[in-house]
Amino acid sequence: MSPKGSAPEKSSGAKQEAKMDKQWLLSVYQQMCYYRRFEERVLQAYTQQKFAGFCHVHIGQEALCVGVQRALRDTDYMITGYRSHTQAIAKGIPGREVFAELFGKATGCAKGNGGSMHMFSKEKRFLGGHGIVGGQVPLAAGVGFAIRYEKKDDIIVCYIGDAATNQGQFHEALNMAATWNLPVLTIIENNRYGMGTDIKRTTSIDHLWKRALAYDMDHGEVDAMNVIKTHEFVSDVIAKMRKTHRPYLLDAICYRYKGHSVSDPGLYRTKEEMGEWMAKDPILQLAEHLKKNKMATDEELKALDTKAKEMAKADEAWAEEQPVPPEEQVWQNVYAD
Ligand X SMILES: Cc1ncc(C[n+]2csc(CCOP(=O)(O)OP(=O)(O)O)c2C)c(N)n1
Residues that bind Mg ion (CB under 5 A): 161-162, 191, 193
Q: Do residues 221 and 8 lie in contact, with contact meaning Cβ atoms separated by under 8 Å?
A: yes
Element (DSSP H or E) covering residue 79:
strand 77-79
Query: Which string of x and - marks every residue 86-125 that binds ligand X (by CB under 6 A)?
Result: ----------------------------------------
Q: Do residues 325 and 114 lie in contact, with contact meaning Cβ atoms separated by under 8 Å?
A: no
- Contacts to ligand X from residues 258-297, by CB under 6 A: 260
**Contact flag: residue 140 with ligand X (CB under 6 A):** no
**Contact flag: residue 189 with ligand X (CB under 6 A):** yes
**Contact flag: residue 205 with ligand X (CB under 6 A):** no
**Cβ neighbours for 23, distance < 8 A, ≥ 6 positions apart:** none
When binding is defined by CB under 6 A, the residue of 132, 279, 324, 330 that contacts ligand X is: 132
Q: Say how far residue 293 (Cα) sits from the centre of its chain.
A: 28
CB-based burial of residue 210 (10 Å sphere; 0-12 exposed, 13-18 middle, 19+ buried)?
middle
Residue closer to Mg ion, measured from CB, 221 or 305:
221
Q: Do residues 252 and 233 lie in contact, with contact meaning Cβ atoms separated by under 8 Å?
A: no
Residue 87 CB, shortest distance to Mg ion, in Å, is 15
**Cβ neighbours for 300, distance < 8 A, ≥ 6 positions apart:** 26
Residue closer to ligand X, measured from CB, 70 or 260:
260
Q: Do residues 217 and 177 lie in contact, with contact meaning Cβ atoms separated by under 8 Å?
A: yes
Residue closer to Mg ion, measured from CB, 23 or 270:
270
Residue 42 CB, shortest distance to ligand X, in Å, is 15
How far apart CA 138 and CA 175 sit, in angstroms, is: 10
When binding is defined by CB under 6 A, the residue of 41, 70, 83, 124 that contacts ligand X is: 83
Where does this chain touch ligand X (CB under 6 A) — which range of 34-42, 162-170, 239-247, 294-302? 162-170
CA-based end-to-end distance of the chain: 47
Residues binding ligand X (CB under 6 A): 83, 131-133, 161-164, 189, 191, 193-195, 260
